Every structure is written in C-alpha cells, then in structure tokens.
C-alpha cells in the first residue's frame, strides 16, 4: 500500500515503518503495544516524526481497526484516536492520514501535567562517560533512540530523573527505563501516581507495587565504563561472598523503609526490583548469588562422570565479616516482601540491540552477542554457549518473536509472602518458586540467556 501524495507535502508524507519500530513508540500506550484479540497489520509515521499510527486486523470479524498517536509539546506520545470497523486496510490508512494531519501543532499537555525535563540537554552538574557514549558515538545511536522513547513513555518521572541519568546515577535510571519497557511489553499497566514505590503494575486484575534499586559499590564511578571486573575464581565466594553480601545489604536497606506500611501499599503485593552495577561487568556473573541469599540454598555439584548431579546445600549465613543471615525468604518477619524482581539486562547493550531491531542501524554496524543459554536437559549441569550476529535468522529464531525486553526478567517468589505475586502478572518473566521444598522454575521461553556480552563490529 502507498499513501501517495494526498496526505500533504513531501516532508509530511506518511511512511511505512516496521512492527519493531512501532512497538518502541507503542511503549507509551497504557498497556504497551498489545492489541489482543486484534493483530498488528501495518505501521506508519509522518516524515517529520510528529505522528505515528498502526492498522490492526480482526481475524474473527474480518475487518480492521486503527490507532493514531501524536507528539505532545514535550515530545511524549499521546493517543489521539482509535477507530474500528474498517472493511479494508486502505480505508484504515485514509483515517490514519487524516488523523495524523488533524492539527499542525503538537498536542497540549494534559490538565495538571508538568512538562518533563529534556533528557539530552546537559545541566550544570556535567555529564558521565556513559552519557557521553550514547550521545556522541554513532555506534550507540540505536541505544540513544530506544532510551529516549522509554523515557518519553514513563508515566511520571520524578524531577531529578534527567539530571541523575546524565551523571553518576545513570545506571539506576537506566534500570527504571528497562523495567518500564519490560513491564509494558507484557501488556502491564504501569502507574506512577505516588513518589514511592516507583511503580504500581497491573494486569488482568493482578497488581504489585515495585521499588527499583541497584546494588552499587561505594565508589561513585563503579559499575559504569571502566576496567572489566571478572568473577571471583572461588565458586563459594561467588555465591555466598561479596556479591551476595551486596545484594543482601541493598535489599535490607530498602526493606527498612517499610514501604509496605504506606496506606496505598498496605495489603497489596510488594516487590523490590534489583540489578547489579557494583563494578563494570559484574552483572554478567553475579546473578547466582541472589537466589543463594534469598532462599538460603547454595547450588553445589556432587559425584563425578555420569553420577555427577546438582544438589541444594542449605546455608545459615553469608561469608564475610558482617555474617549476614542467609535466607531472606526464610524469615517470617519478611513476609511483607512478596518477591524480588531481577534482571541483568538493564544495560546499554540491551538498549542498543532493541534500538537496532527497531530500525536505527548505522551503516556498517554489526552486533555480535556472545553468552550462555540455560540448558533445560534433565540433569544438565552446564550452560549452552552461543555467539551470533543479532541480525541473523539463527539469532532471531531463538525466540518466537525474536529478542524482547522481558526475556531476562526474573521473579523470585517469597514462599512465606502474605500477599503473593500472581504468575499471570508478568507472563513473560522467568518465575522461581518453592514447591515441595525444592526451588522450581517456570518460563515461557525455550531459550533463556543467563549472561552475555555484545561486541560492536565496524561501529564508531
């Protein structure tokens, strides 16, 4: 289909866009780019970028629907129209064109809404190396575009968000953007009506309050661009030593704020979302320490050869001078914590890949992702290595819809929770829970990436 010239001058022509590009803009919709029972058919945007829209198909009724979004004066997307009952996609496109051009001016702010600070206009505090990287290198243009759209999709970022993102709190704010994308992608409604916790999420009647936090080092520059820090060689130290202690201290600090006693949180599920940014590269290897601390069980191997198998070894405390008790979920006093949400994917590499899939592909830039997949074979004790060009069919075929935001999202459920988190709330996450005294896993993905790095080839 072609819109021809009937929708305006050459600068305002409607251009077809990919489903991945529209999905990035669609994160600004209340439940993200999710339209069931309708199916995505085609997407479009104005050449100026001031409006976009999509055509949806209703296979049962054999007709079409359409949605149109336009930029507000603060560049956020506003849903300006939805129409159903078109008999042909051409009729739906005519409506999109007319709705896109309904006004030449940006949409006004909603009544009572405040204009958010520009994310990319540096303030008086200067900028971090991470901010410099995404704004001044062509190789990170995809990340810049994905980050920008996620920021514009946030319902109500606090007044310090932009300045934090530009300086030494870059990682913490990037984690919030990742969570927003991972939640909305799953059809989750995300609300920010209160100063804290950070998010109220809701899907099909299930809800949970979520407070986001990052495990950091006392060093203000830790976890950002810098010398790569490798995992401790001793496995027991990696599982129960300093990495686990950092998770423990971070979670305990947040729990001391007693969010569960706030009037709007009381009686509802409450979770802490955590990511590890204590050192450059730490998120690649520290993940195993978190469930070890939460459940008070260390995964060991016993036997040799074909008799080798994994066993769970209960532990009472973590290593280190603090002697922190292990098993946060074993203490009935922590039953107000419904669970812990974790991801090691709140990284520039993730945003770079997602921006790349949405169509921002600098000439000559390739991304090679290398890592390890979880081996679900019975009795498997090791992971499955992979190294693939993300533009290859082999890579996209690892998952039914290609790479998504939520594939690295994990929910660790507290078996003693007073208000458990519904598994249906985050269907695209990997859920860990206790069943008959064993830690079990439930996921919709055949291939889960445990850890990875992404190399940029021929980039800036």
* pLDDT of 355 over the 80 cut: yes
d(CA 29, CA 27): 5
Q: What is the pLDDT of residue 279?
A: 75
Q: What is the pLDDT of residue 2?
A: 40
Query: Who has greater pLDDT, 419 or 305?
Result: 419
Widest pairwise Cα distance in the chain: 74
Q: Using alpha carbons, select from 187, 153, 202 the residue that is nearest to residue 32.
A: 187
* pLDDT of 406 over the 70 cut: yes
Contact 277, 427 (CB under 8 A): no
In degrees and rounded to multiples of 5, residue 226 shows phi and psi of 170, -170
Q: What is the pLDDT of residue 294?
A: 97
Q: What is the pLDDT of residue 437?
A: 86
Tokens, residue 202: 């809701």
Mean pLDDT of 394-417: 97
Contact 334, 328 (CB under 8 A): yes
Q: What is the pLDDT of residue 304?
A: 64
Q: pLDDT confidence of 378, banded at 50, 70, 90?
A: low
Q: Which residues contact 316 (CB under 8 A, 6 or more apart)?
A: 296, 325, 326, 327
Q: Using alpha carbons, select from 131, 208, 226, 132 the residue that is nearest to residue 173.
A: 131
Contact 51, 64 (CB under 8 A): no
358-374 residue pLDDT tens:
999 999 999 999 999 98
Q: Using alpha carbons, select from 360, 355, 345, 380 the residue that is nearest to residue 452.
A: 345
* pLDDT of 293 over the 80 cut: yes
Q: Report the Cα 148 to chain-centroid distance in Å.
A: 14
What's the per-residue H, E or C state across the chain?
Answer: CCCCCCCCCHHHCEEEECHHHHHHHHHHCCCCCCCCCCEEEEEEEECCCCEEEEEEEECCCCEEEEEEEEEECCCCEEEEEEEEEECCHHHHHHHHHHHHCCCCCCECCCCCCCCCCCCCCCCCCCCCHHHHHHHHCHHHHHHHHHHHHHHHHCCCCCCCHHHHHHCCCHHHHHHHHHHHHHHHHCCCEEECCCCCCCEEEEECCEEEEEEEEEECCCCCCCCCCCCCCCCCCCHHHHHHCHHHHHHHHHHHHHHCCCHHHCCCCCCCCEEEEEEECCCCCHHHCCCCHHHHHHHCEEEEEECCHHHCEEEEEECCECCCCCCCECCHHHCHHHCCCCEEEECCCCCHHHHHHHHHHCCCCCCCCEEEEEEEECCCCCCCCCCEEEEEECCCHHHHCCCECECCCHHHCEEEECCCCCCCCCHHHCCCCEEEEEECCEEEEECCCCCCEEEEEEEEECCC
Q: pLDDT confidence of 322, banded at 50, 70, 90?
A: confident
Find the Cα–Cα–Cα–Cα dihedral 103, 107, 112, 115, rounded to 10°: -150
7-21 residue pLDDT tens:
444 346 899 999 999
Mean pLDDT of 142-165: 96
Burial letters 430-440, b for 16+ CB under 10 A, else e: bbbbbeeeebe
Q: pLDDT confidence of 4, banded at 50, 70, 90?
A: very low
Measured CA to CA in angstroms, residue 400 lies from 29, 41, 129, 446, 447 at distances of: 23, 18, 36, 9, 10
Least confident window among 120-134, 148-162, 198-212, 331-345: 120-134
Tokens, residue 70: 């336009």
d(CA 293, CA 252): 12
Q: What is the pLDDT of residue 379?
A: 58
* pLDDT of 228 over the 80 cut: no
The whole-chain average pLDDT of the chain stands at 91
Contact 240, 298 (CB under 8 A): yes
Q: What is the pLDDT of residue 6?
A: 45
Q: What is the pLDDT of residue 8?
A: 44
* Strand-pair partners of 45: 15, 52
d(CA 171, CA 174): 5
């Amino acid at each position: 289909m072609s819109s021809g010239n009937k929708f305006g001058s050459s600068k305002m022509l409607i251009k077809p866009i990919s489903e991945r590009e529209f999905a990035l803009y669609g994160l600004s919709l209340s439940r993200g780019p999710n339209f069931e029972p309708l199916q995505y058919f085609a997407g479009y945007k104005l050449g100026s970028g001031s409006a976009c829209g999509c055509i949806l198909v209703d296979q049962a009724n054999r007709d079409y629907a359409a949605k149109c979004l336009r930029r507000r004066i603060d560049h956020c997307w506003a849903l300006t129209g939805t129409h159903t009952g078109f008999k042909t996609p051409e009729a739906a496109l005519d409506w999109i064109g007319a709705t896109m051009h309904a006004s030449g001016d940006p949409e006004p702010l909603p009544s009572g809404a405040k204009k958010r600070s520009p994310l990319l206009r540096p303030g008086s505090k200067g900028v971090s190396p991470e901010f410099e990287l995404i704004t001044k290198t062509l190789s990170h243009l995809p990340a810049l575009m994905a980050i920008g759209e996620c920021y514009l999709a946030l319902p109500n970022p606090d007044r310090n968000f932009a300045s934090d993102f530009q300086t030494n709190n870059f990682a913490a704010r990037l984690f919030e953007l990742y969570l927003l994308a991972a939640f909305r992608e799953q059809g989750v409604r995300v609300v920010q009506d209160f100063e804290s916790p950070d998010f109220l999420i809701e899907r099909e009647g299930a809800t949970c309050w979520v407070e986001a936090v990052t495990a950091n080092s006392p060093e203000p520059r830790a976890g950002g661009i810098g010398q790569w820090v490798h995992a401790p060689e001793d496995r027991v130290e990696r599982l129960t030593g300093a990495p686990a202690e950092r998770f423990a201290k971070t979670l305990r600090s947040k729990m001391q704020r007693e969010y569960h006693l706030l009037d709007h949180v009381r009686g509802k599920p409450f979770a802490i979302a955590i990511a590890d940014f204590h050192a450059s590269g730490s998120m690649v290897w520290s993940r195993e320490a978190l469930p070890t601390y939460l459940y008070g069980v260390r995964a060991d191997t016993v036997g040799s050869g074909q008799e080798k198998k994994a066993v769970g070894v209960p532990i009472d405390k973590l290593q280190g001078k603090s002697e922190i008790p292990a098993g946060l979920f074993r203490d009935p006093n922590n039953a107000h914590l419904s669970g812990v949400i974790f991801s090691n994917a709140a990284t520039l590499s993730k945003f770079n890949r997602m921006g790349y899939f949405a169509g921002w592909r600098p000439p000559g830039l390739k991304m090679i992702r290398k890592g390890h997949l979880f081996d679900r074979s019975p009795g498997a004790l090791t992971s499955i290595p992979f190294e693939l060009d993300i533009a290859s069919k082999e890579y996209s075929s690892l998952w039914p819809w290609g790479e998504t935001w939520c594939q690295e999202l994990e929910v660790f459920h507290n078996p003693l929770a007073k208000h458990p988190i519904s598994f249906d709330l985050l269907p695209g996450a990997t859920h860990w829970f206790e069943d008959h005294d064993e830690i079990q896993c439930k996921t919709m993905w055949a291939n889960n990436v445990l850890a990875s790095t992404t190399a940029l080839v021929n980039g800036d």
